[in-house]
Amino acid sequence: MSNESKHLVIIGGVAAGMKAAAKARRELPMMNITVVTDEQYISYASCGTPYFIGNIVKDSKKLLIREPPYFKNMHNIDVLTRHQATSIDTKSKQVKVKGIEKGRDIIFNYDKLIIATGAQPIIPPLPGISLGNIFTLRTVSDAFKIKSCVESGKIKNAVIVGGGLIGLEMAENLVLRGIKVTIVELLDQILPPLDKDMALIVQKYLEEKGVGIITSDGVKSFEGNGDSAVTKVITGKRQLLADMVILSIGIRPNTKLAQEAGIEIGTTRAIKVNERMETNIPDVYAIGDCAENIHLVTGKPVWIALGSTAAKMGRVAAINATGGADTFKGVLGTLIVKVFELNVGKVGLSEREAIKEGFKIESTIVPASDMSHYYPGAKDIIIKLIADVTTRKLLGAEIVGDGIVDKRIDIIATALTFGAMVDQVSKLDLAYAPPYAMVMDAILVAANVLNNKLTGKATGILPQKVAEKSDRGEDFILLDVRTDMEYKSGHIKGCQYIPLDKLASRTHELDGSKEIITYCRSGLRAVQAYRILKNAGFKNVKYMDGSILAWAYGLEK
């Protein structure tokens, strides 16, 4: 039997599944291809649903990229919606499928099987969880329900449980609909993939936008009214009014079907696949949110469910399932999220993750302009870079700002893919013209600062560490070296003040027996002050990376 006349069955009809179907068709024009999905809609843009709810994307048709007749007519792909795959027999190579409405069973014989069963939101079994107006957002059907609720006009207060990506996107889009939003997060920070110092910058920004943020507090129960709609969220420490709740505490891979068929599950609890997207069972592939990946920085299995990864895995599985050969080596945990006008991105390992992985790390925080400062519209971004002290290789980056973040994240994603050293990143020949970048792009500047730390040219300390020192009551000198006007406009509590241009002649005012930490606005003058003090013989000196621009803990006048 030639590949052409074989039967490819795909379970799952959203990002990974439909990508695999379309790619398989392009590879083999005559192959039989069947997609089964328990959902009503296929091939939709699930990442766009928050913007549909916020009415930034007004027409739901724009999210529903393709419908079954399109795939039948244009690609001769059979799509069965509202059909649940109930079991896989990997010996006889059959999938049993049950129609959700009609209830009849269908048996499909497959030559190749691709599992793309996705993931589902975690719903905690809390008292009151089944009250009305408590939603998760995963599918386009979920989005229709939430949008309809929002447009009922009855929603004044919403509580979002979970401060991850979906939670933040929903916060923005509900605020755009005139709803007062509070985010409740169990951890001590929002945006768990980021380090706390960078997450705190986002938190401050959201609070300025009127979003309530409660961290280190968990939801205990929900209370409702006579109509059985939610009215209150009870947390460990508070009671919050809520006409609507969005649960976004996380997702888990849909692996039950695979697991029952004897398909191996990985350490991340998602389906284990090799770089050809093959499971442990011959002719069975797994892709998308139900499958695990390799993290390209650690080389270890990781489960990071993203549409962009699903599409790539779908493509690779389709090529291999149709007789070709392709591989997908892994991911970097790259993420980007728009939070009102703030762009927040991360790639590779955070400082916390890198330390947990056993790396000896150095890091820096560098505020910079996203384009030439004199060009209209130039905006600030704050870059955190993390590197391995031993190899001087970059490990990860986190970037936050109203300036252009995604470009710099993608540059670092590309650099990490090729195991770039920090020094190599600082020399990249990036595109420069005033409307696009500074003459030394922000990311090159940040790499230079980090390289100075890696090579021992300067010793810095991150703002969060300074704040922790203060909290612990440690005795050290925090030295503000800005201009008089800057100092008076707001400085860190307890600092000593000597402007930079007077520092060389006033070093006698400093107690050399104490640790001295210099700071300015962005860190640049702090480094100069650091050098002046080192040159004057002070031994125990550091500068504060990012200084005031990265200081998220309040100032006094």
Q: Where are the beta strands (DSSP E) in 15-149?
A: 32-36, 77-80, 83-89, 94-99, 105-109, 112-115, 119-121, 134-136
Identify the CA nearest to 402 among candidates 358, 461, 342: 342
332 binds a copy of itself (CB under 8 A): yes
Measured distance CA(98)–CA(112) in Å, rounded: 20
Taking CB under 8 A as the rule, which mask of x and - marks residues 503-542 in contact with a copy of itself? ------------------------xx--xx--x-------
Measured distance CA(420)–CA(394) in Å, rounded: 6
Catalytic position from the list 47, 290, 495, 520: 47
φ and ψ at 344, to 5 degrees? Answer: -130, 120
Measured distance CA(418)–CA(296) in Å, rounded: 9
Figure out which of the listed residues 250, 262, 434, 499 binds a copy of itself, where binding follows CB under 8 A.
434
Sheet containing 112-115, strands listed edge to edge, beginning at the edge strand earlier in sequence: 77-80, 32-36, 7-11, 112-115, 284-286
Minimum CB separation of residue 231 from a copy of itself in Å reads 33
Figure out which of the listed residues 186, 187, 336, 495 binds a copy of itself, where binding follows CB under 8 A.
336
Figure out which of the listed residues 94, 111, 126, 375 binds a copy of itself, where binding follows CB under 8 A.
375
342 binds a copy of itself (CB under 8 A): no
Judged by CB under 8 A, the chain residues 161 through 180 that form the site for a copy of itself are 169
307 binds a copy of itself (CB under 8 A): yes
Minimum CB separation of residue 143 from a copy of itself in Å reads 13
Find the helix or strand (DSSP H, E) in which 235 lies: strand 230-235
Read off the amino acid at residue 488. Answer: K
For residues 356-372, b (16+ Cβ closer than 10 Å) or e, as one string?
A: ebebebbbbbbbbbbbb
Minimum CB separation of residue 512 from a copy of itself in Å reads 18
Q: Which is nearer to a copy of itself, 235 or 334 (CB)?
A: 334
Stretch that binds a copy of itself, among 43-51, 188-196, 469-477, 510-518 (CB under 8 A): 43-51
Taking CB under 8 A as the rule, which mask of x and - marks residues 139-158 in contact with a copy of itself? --------------------
Minimum CB separation of residue 293 from a copy of itself in Å reads 9
Q: Which is nearer to a copy of itself, 52 or 108 (CB)?
A: 52
Q: Which is nearer to a copy of itself, 231 or 372 (CB)?
A: 372
Minimum CB separation of residue 25 from a copy of itself in Å reads 9
Q: Which is nearer to a copy of itself, 128 or 193 (CB)?
A: 193
Measured distance CA(310)–CA(314) in Å, rounded: 6
Figure out which of the listed residues 32, 203, 448, 522 binds a copy of itself, where binding follows CB under 8 A.
448
Figure out which of the listed residues 329, 360, 506, 514 binds a copy of itself, where binding follows CB under 8 A.
329
Q: Which is nearer to a copy of itself, 196 or 525 (CB)?
A: 525
Identify the CA nearest to 208 among candidates 340, 336, 337: 340
62 binds a copy of itself (CB under 8 A): yes
Minimum CB separation of residue 123 from a copy of itself in Å reads 24
Figure out which of the listed residues 217, 410, 486, 515 binds a copy of itself, where binding follows CB under 8 A.
410
Measured CA to CA in angstroms, residue 92 lies from 96, 98, 186, 338, 453 at distances of 11, 18, 47, 48, 60
φ and ψ at 494, to 5 degrees? Answer: 85, 5
Figure out which of the listed residues 195, 351, 362, 441 binds a copy of itself, where binding follows CB under 8 A.
441
Measured distance CA(319)–CA(538) in Å, rounded: 63
Q: Which is nearer to a copy of itself, 207 or 501 (CB)?
A: 501
Measured distance CA(470)–CA(391) in Å, rounded: 32
- ∠ CA 481-205-351, rounded to 5°: 70
Measured distance CA(221)–CA(242) in Å, rounded: 12
CB 226 within 8 A of CB 210: no
Q: Which is nearer to a copy of itself, 232 or 384 (CB)?
A: 384
Q: In the numeric block, which tokens belong to residue 495?
A: 């600092």
Q: Which is nearer to a copy of itself, 55 or 130 (CB)?
A: 55
Radius of gyration over every alpha carbon of the chain, rounded to an integer in angstroms: 27
Measured distance CA(538)–CA(514) in Å, rounded: 9
Figure out which of the listed residues 337, 366, 386, 520 binds a copy of itself, where binding follows CB under 8 A.
337
Q: Which is nearer to a copy of itself, 4 or 468 (CB)?
A: 4
At residue 33, the 3 state secondary structure works out as strand
**Residue matched to tokens 């010793």:** 459
Measured distance CA(522)–CA(366) in Å, rounded: 7
Measured distance CA(550)–CA(368) in Å, rounded: 11
Minimum CB separation of residue 64 from a copy of itself in Å reads 10
Minimum CB separation of residue 250 from a copy of itself in Å reads 18
Taking CB under 8 A as the rule, which mask of x and - marks residues 345-374 in contact with a copy of itself? x-x------------------------xxx
47 is a catalytic site residue: yes
Figure out which of the listed residues 186, 430, 461, 467 binds a copy of itself, where binding follows CB under 8 A.
430
Q: How far is CA 393 from the centre of its chain?
A: 22
Catalytic residue numbers? 47
